[in-house]
Structure formats: C-alpha cells, structure tokens
C-alpha cells in the first residue's frame, strides 16, 4: 500500500463519486440482489455487485484508501457515510448515547469519534458514566477474558470490566517467565506438537457442560502450523498440543456441545492429503478437512474432507450440528480465482451421521486418520442423511456463531453486507439447504463476527465501516432479505474490528453486560510507539438497551488478539499452589535432596528451593556430563515463586509453590556458572544462588 499524500481531497472526491454510484444503481440492485442471495444459481465472471453497484474490488480499494486517510488522523470512515456535512455535535457522552440510540443507524456518528476520543481515551474508566464499570485497586473483576495472542502463539488473560491484563499463558511458544519450553514436560509438549517455535492462536474456547462453562479447559487453534492445544484452567498452563495431520492452517476452533464431547479444528488452506510431495501443482487434488479431537486424550478421532476452503466454525447447542463458514468454493489458488464466484457455503456437519460413517468403515485412512468424504459429490451426501449439507451464502462468509437459544447459526458476510441466519432445526428438514436460510439482514460493510446478549440481540463487527452493529435476530427472521429494519444501533469503534465477544456469548446463557471489540488498528488512539502500532481492544457496556451501547474503555493490545471468551469468575477455580499429586514427577522435600553420579558422563540431581536458598549452594560436575536437575519449590505459601536460571545453558525453570520441574542439559562448557532465582521472592532474593562448577574433563 502506498501512502496517500493528500487524503482529505481524495476522500471528498470519493464520497461524491460514491453518492453518484449509489444513486445510479439503487434500482438495479435492491430487490434483485436480495432475492438472488437466497438462490443457488451460477456465478458471474466479472466482479459481481455487492452493494450499491460496488464490487469486491471497489470495497477493497475503498478500504485501502480509508486506511491511508486515517493514518493521517482524519476520519475517512465517517466520510463514506451519508450526511457527512453535519456539524460536529458538541454533546456530553451521556447525551450523545441517548441521541445515538434514538436515531438508530445514525447520521450523527460523524461527531462520535471526536467526542469519545477526547473523553474516553483515558481508559481508566474513572470518570462519568464509565465509573460504574471500573474496578478499584484491590478489587477483583467479575469476569475472566481469555484473548488469543495471534502470532505470539499465546493466550492472554484479562479481567473484565477493568481490562487489566492478569496473566499470559504460553501455548505454542517457549516463554521464559513461566519457564514454558524450558523444563522437560513443557519442552516435550512443544516437541511432540511438531517442534515449531511459534504458533498463531485465534479462537480460544472454554469447555462447557450442559451448555455452560465448566472451567476445566480452554482449547485453541494454531492457524500457522495446523495444531490444536489444550490449556488446563486449574493451573492456567498448556498441557497438550495435537499436530493435526492432513491439514494446514487449523483456523476455526470450537467444541461439540452441550458437553464438549469433541473439539473441532476447522482446516483452512487446501493442501494435498497427505502433503508429502504428491499433487503439488494439482490444486484440484487439494482438500481441506474438519478435524474432530477427543478432549480427554487430544487424539484425532476423524476428519471430514469438504469442497472449498473452510474458515470459522461453531457448534450447535444440541450436539448434532457443527457449522463452518468457508470461502473459495472456486478452489482457486490466487486471490482472483478465490473471489470469482458470488457464492460460497456454510457447511453443516451432521456429527452423528459422520460417526455412523466412521463406524461403518466408510472412510479412507490418510496419515493414520479416518477421513470421511464430505465433498458435494460424495456418495455419503446422497440420500436423506448427508454427512455435510452445503448452505449457499453470499461470497466469502467469515464468522459463524450459534445463537444462545440454539435456534440459528448466523454467518457474517465479510465481502457481502449481510448476515445469513440459518435455521438449525430447518437444516435437517429441508430438501434444499438454501431453504434453511431464514433471514438475511443488511447490517453494513464488512461484517466479520457476531456475538450475543441475553435479550435477543446480535452484535456484529463491521470491518470496513469500523463499527459494531446491534441487531435483533428474531426481527431479521421476520424481515425481508436485505432489510435494514432489524438494526437497533450502530456504534463506531477505533478502528476496523475483527472479532467481538460478549460475556458468555458462546453459552446458552449470555450475561448481556459487557462486549469487547477487538480492533485491528489503533491509529492515533495511544502514544506513538514506532511503526508497529498496538491494536485496540474496546469494551462496551451493553446492559442498557435504552441508553444504547456505551464505550467504556480502550485497551492497547500487543499483536494480535483475534477471538476471546469471557467467563464469569465463579466458573473458574484456579489452583493457588500446585498439588504434587497432579504432577507426574516426584516431589523433593527438604532433607531428601541428592546428588548421584550415575556413570562416567551422567549426573542426576534432586533438589529443592525455598526462601532464600537451593538445597545445594554448589554443585560440581565434569565437562561433557549430561546433568538432570529435578527441583521442587517446597514453599506452601501462595505467590512465593522461585525459579532456577542456569546461565549459558539457556534455561529458566519457573517454580510455583509445591511445583516440581525437571531439566536435562549437557555441561559442555567448563567454567563457573551462577544459577540464580529470577523471581524476586524475598529480601534475600539476590542471594538465592547456587554455584555450578563444570570441571574440565582433562584438567
Ligand atoms: Cu476473524 Cu481467525 Cu476468527 Cu481473526 S478470525 S478476526
Ligand atoms: Cu527465590 Cu528469588
């Protein structure tokens, strides 16, 4: 992208041009486009219209230009909306919110940005309306927010509503503060997970029982290296990584509900199966799979191959259906090829039917996994109990999420300004899957993801419009396709949101109070920190339908959260110290430390740590020895954490109270090495050291 030297002029020119466009083509698009969306007819070859006579190419060009313009501190997003000549409203925040709610889809929003950026940017939540959503020093938040860390490979834990970051959980990457990838157990998890040094986490989902959070596990995907991981929510620690075969880019991640019977990874990039050098330049032979994993063992149970790319997924509440969006039904390999058709699909997987196919042996084993053929032409999709039903939607739907009542799966249009409301019960009943589409409201430009409150509202991010739109999903079922009537309210976000998440939105009983919009761009919202900007997670209070959505907080975020889950604190029970019975290594109590030379080149050390010493103030080994250290933190007091950092050997084991860790290294460099405690644990923390003497072998 090149920087636009004169964004303001350009913006004005473009908005004129757009008004012309809209006026010139309104009659040609309105009814016809909406009607056509419900049908499953062929595609047009030359850039189908999306809205107001504009094609995908127009949208993308507009968006690129928006980004260039806002980079210079102007609000080009507002410029694209009608009535941009309105004077900037000088309203207080409360007044504005009331006014905003009253005018619905809202012409006055051009003023919103400046009002909020003046007053709302402090982020402390300590003034005015946001005061009631702040959390005083020493008080606890009501919710845990689990945010994915994108290509840092981690999970971040924040308190909501304070948005204070509480912890980070390394998942796909070694991380020294928590010793992940430094001790034997976590190193083995990373190694067995493929040995990569990073991952790309997008979709953290907390396990459920009876469609409510049970606080046991969190599952998350690795889009980069095609993996799924499990985090133990007693210890807030990653305890398993599954390297998924036959799949590159496991993107969507979710569970079979109501009881987390299976964990699903949604395969995105199409590749040969197995990807071992065959068919490298034969894209027709590539495939993409849905992967079902046992949550206890984390073993892959089966996969289902489908046509086209998949993208995001969500499970129905009743255990039968799993929904995945997809793009590239064309099965192209270039961007042009992938966006040629004006139609893609939501795939509805019939889980019991798939199990039946597996049990009947109707699969091909590829890379050791039963792969069921769920492509359109598969014999398993003939008859009245197909394994996968293909629901036609406008081009490239992105997010999909099932409403709390389990009645609808709502797919967000991305390159189309609508959301598609699919009836979950209808899926099983209709002859033509297109007939399961019950509503298709026009929500705005670039709808990506949808979350829910407890009052029948859907909240959808509009990536291109930089807004969150609140709409009524039952009203959308009542309304004509393409109607804007179901829209209750739109609110600006800053800027370009990806996911959004409302408290407990993925359960059958959302809390309906807080919503976090995970915005990709922060632009000028924070102190500049160089050319890589933080992202901006914005929290709204959504509990008052009369007052409307209230922006409460901005939180800069290290790149880059995608999705999140918000769980009430009563549903998570973290351990305060380790229970040695939960650990597969023997605890080393005080008095039972030992140093054993097993043979000429092997040393085994069992030791403990406590304030302010290690069991051995010094340890002598010989050059070339393979040294195994097993070490327990014998403290019983919570929050007295030690570590053992071993310089030159690239090791730092974190030791929570009652925890035991083990590490093996080869002492190949003669010399003196001060092992030390890296957690500041007490007044004599600096003195908490042990001298490791590595004697020269021939000395
Ligand atoms: Cu929209 Cu990976 Cu869920 Cu990112 S995905 S935003
Ligand atoms: Cu133990 Cu510092």
Each residue of 29-77: pLDDT tens digit? 334 443 444 333 433 444 556 556 667 677 667 666 666 655 444 444 4
Q: What is the pLDDT of residues 413-426, one digit of tens each?
A: 999 999 999 999 99
Identify the H or E element spanning 435. Answer: none
Q: Measuring CA to CA, how many Å separate 192 from each of 197, 229, 242, 681? A: 12, 12, 8, 33
In tens, the pLDDT along 384-395 reads 899 999 999 998
Distance CA 108, CA 119 (A): 18
Q: To 5 degrees, how large is the angle CA 491–CA 414–CA 6? A: 70
pLDDT, tens digit (0-9, with 9 covering 90-100), for 630-653: 999 999 999 999 999 998 999 999
220-252: per-residue pLDDT in tens?
999 999 999 999 999 999 999 999 999 999 999
For residue 185, which phi and psi values (nearest 5 degrees)?
-65, -50
User: Picking from 335-349, 480-494, 591-605, which range would have the lowest pLDDT averaged per residue?
Assistant: 335-349
Q: Whose CA is nearest to atom 1 of ligand 2?
A: 642
**Confidence bin at 118 (pLDDT 50/70/90):** very low
pLDDT averaged over every residue in the chain: 86
Q: Which two tokens stand for residue 629?
A: 């250290």
Query: Ligand 1 in contact with 519 (CB < 6 A)?
Result: no
**Residue-level pLDDT at 554:** 96
Question: Is the beta carbon of 679 within 6 A of some atom in ligand 2?
Answer: yes
- Over the stretch 445-460, which tens digit does the pLDDT of each residue have? 999 999 999 999 999 9
Burial 41-77 (b: 16+ CB within 10 A, else e): eeeeeeebbbbbbbbbebbeebbebbbbbbbbeebbb
Domains and CATH numbers, the chain: 7-112 (no CATH), 580-695 (2.60.40.420)
Q: What is the pTM of this model?
A: 0.85
| pLDDT tens-digit series, residues 202-227 | 999 999 999 999 999 999 999 999 99
29 lines ligand 1 (CB under 6 A): no
Is it the case that residue 18 has pLDDT exceeding 60? no
Q: Which atom of ligand 1 is nearest to the CA of 563?
A: 3
Cα-to-centroid distance, 499 and ligand 1 (Å): 6
Distance 157 CA to ligand 1 centre (A): 18
pLDDT tier at 504 (50, 70, 90 boundaries)?
very high
The three-state secondary structure class of 66 is helix
pLDDT attached to residue 330: 85
Average pLDDT over residues 286-306: 97
Q: How far is the CA of 464 from the centre of ligand 1 (A)?
A: 14
pLDDT at 321 over 50: yes
pLDDT at 556 over 90: yes
pLDDT band at residue 341, thresholds of 50, 70 and 90?
confident
Q: What local confidence, expressed as pLDDT, does residue 70 receive?
A: 52
pLDDT, position 81: 43
Closest ligand to Cα 611: 2
562 lines ligand 1 (CB under 6 A): yes
Q: For every residue of 249-287, which 3-state class applies, written as one string?
A: EEEEEEECCCCCCCEEEEEEECECCCCCCCCCCCHHHCE
CB 457 within 8 A of CB 473: yes
Where would I find the beta strands (DSSP E) of 558-622?
A: 564-568, 594-599, 602-610, 613-614, 618-622
Atom of ligand 2 nearest to the CA of 642: 1
Residue 156 in tokens: 């971040």
Confidence of residue 462 (pLDDT cuts 50, 70, 90): very high
What is the distance in A from the centroid of ligand 2 to the CA of 615?
13
- What integer pLDDT is reported at residue 48 of this predicted model? 58
């Amino acid at each position: 992208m090149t920087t636009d030297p004169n964004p303001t002029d350009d913006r004005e020119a473009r908005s004129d041009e757009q008004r012309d466009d809209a006026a010139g083509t309104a009659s040609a698009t309105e009814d016809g486009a909406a009607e056509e969306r419900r049908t499953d007819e062929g595609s047009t070859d030359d850039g189908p219209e999306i809205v107001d006579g504009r094609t995908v190419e127009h949208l993308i060009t507009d968006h690129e230009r928006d980004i260039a313009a806002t980079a210079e501190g102007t609000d080009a997003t507002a410029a694209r909306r009608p009535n941009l000549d309105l004077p900037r409203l000088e309203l207080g925040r409360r007044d504005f919110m009331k006014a905003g709610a009253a005018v619905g889809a809202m012409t006055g929003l051009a003023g919103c940005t400046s009002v909020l950026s003046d007053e709302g940017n402090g982020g402390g939540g300590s003034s005015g309306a946001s005061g009631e959503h702040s959390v005083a020093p020493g008080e606890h938040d009501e919710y845990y927010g689990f945010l994915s860390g994108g290509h840092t490979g981690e999970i971040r834990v924040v308190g909501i509503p304070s948005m204070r970051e509480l912890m980070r959980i390394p998942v796909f990457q070694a991380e020294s503060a928590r010793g992940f990838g430094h001790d034997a157990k976590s190193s083995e998890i990373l190694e067995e997970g493929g040995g990569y040094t990073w991952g790309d986490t997008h979709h953290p989902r907390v396990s459920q029982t009876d469609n409510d959070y049970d606080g046991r596990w969190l599952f998350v995907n690795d889009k980069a290296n095609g993996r799924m991981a499990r985090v133990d929510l007693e210890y807030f620690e990653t305890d398993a990584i599954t390297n998924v075969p036959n799949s590159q880019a496991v993107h969507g991640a979710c569970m079979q509900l109501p009881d987390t019977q299976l964990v699903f990874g949604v395969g995105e990039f199409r590749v040969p199966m197995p990807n071992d050098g065959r068919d490298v330049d034969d894209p027709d032979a590539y495939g993409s799979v849905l992967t079902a994993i046992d949550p206890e063992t984390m073993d892959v149970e089966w996969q289902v191959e489908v046509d086209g790319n998949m993208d995001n997924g969500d499970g129905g509440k009743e255990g039968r259906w799993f929904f995945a969006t997809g793009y590239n039904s064309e099965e192209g390999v270039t961007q042009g090829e992938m966006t040629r058709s004006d139609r893609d699909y939501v795939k509805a997987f019939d889980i019991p039917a798939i199990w039946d196919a597996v049990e009947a042996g109707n699969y091909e084993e590829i890379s050791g996994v039963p792969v069921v053929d769920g492509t359109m032409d598969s014999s398993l999709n003939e008859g009245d109990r197909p394994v996968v039903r293909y629901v036609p939607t406008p081009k490239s739907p992105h997010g999909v999420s099932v409403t709390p009542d389990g009645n609808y799966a709502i797919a967000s249009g991305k390159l189309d300004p609508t959301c598609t409301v699919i009836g979950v019960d209808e899926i099983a009943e209709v002859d033509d899957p297109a007939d399961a589409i019950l509503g298709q409201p026009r929500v705005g430009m670039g709808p990506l993801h949808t979350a829910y409150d407890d009052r029948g509202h859907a909240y959808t991010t509009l990536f291109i419009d930089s807004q969150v739109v609140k709409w009524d999903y039952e009203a959308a079922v009542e309304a004509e396709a393409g109607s804007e009537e179901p829209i209750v309210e739109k609110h600006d976000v800053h800027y370009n949101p990806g996911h959004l998440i409302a408290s407990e939105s993925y359960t059958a009983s959302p809390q309906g109070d807080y919503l976090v919009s995970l915005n990709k761009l922060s632009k000028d919202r924070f102190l500049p920190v160089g050319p890589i900007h933080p992202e901006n997670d914005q929290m709204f209070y959504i509990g008052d339908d009369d007052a409307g959505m209230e922006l409460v907080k901005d939180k800069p975020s290290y790149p880059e959260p995608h999705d999140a889950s918000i769980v009430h604190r009563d549903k998570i029970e973290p351990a305060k110290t380790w229970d040695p019975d939960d650990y597969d290594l023997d605890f080393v109590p005080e008095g039972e430390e030992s140093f054993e030379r097993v043979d000429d080149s092997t040393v085994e050390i069992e030791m403990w740590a406590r304030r302010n010493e290690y069991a051995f103030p010094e340890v002598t080994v010989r050059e070339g020895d393979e040294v195994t250290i097993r070490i327990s933190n014998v403290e019983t007091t919570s929050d007295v954490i030690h570590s053992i950092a071993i310089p030159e050997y690239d090791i730092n084991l974190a030791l929570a109270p009652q925890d035991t860790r083990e590490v093996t290294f080869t002492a190949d460099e003669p010399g003196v090495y001060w092992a030390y405690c890296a957690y500041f644990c007490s007044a004599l923390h600096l003195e908490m050291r042990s001298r490791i003497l590595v004697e020269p072998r021939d000395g």
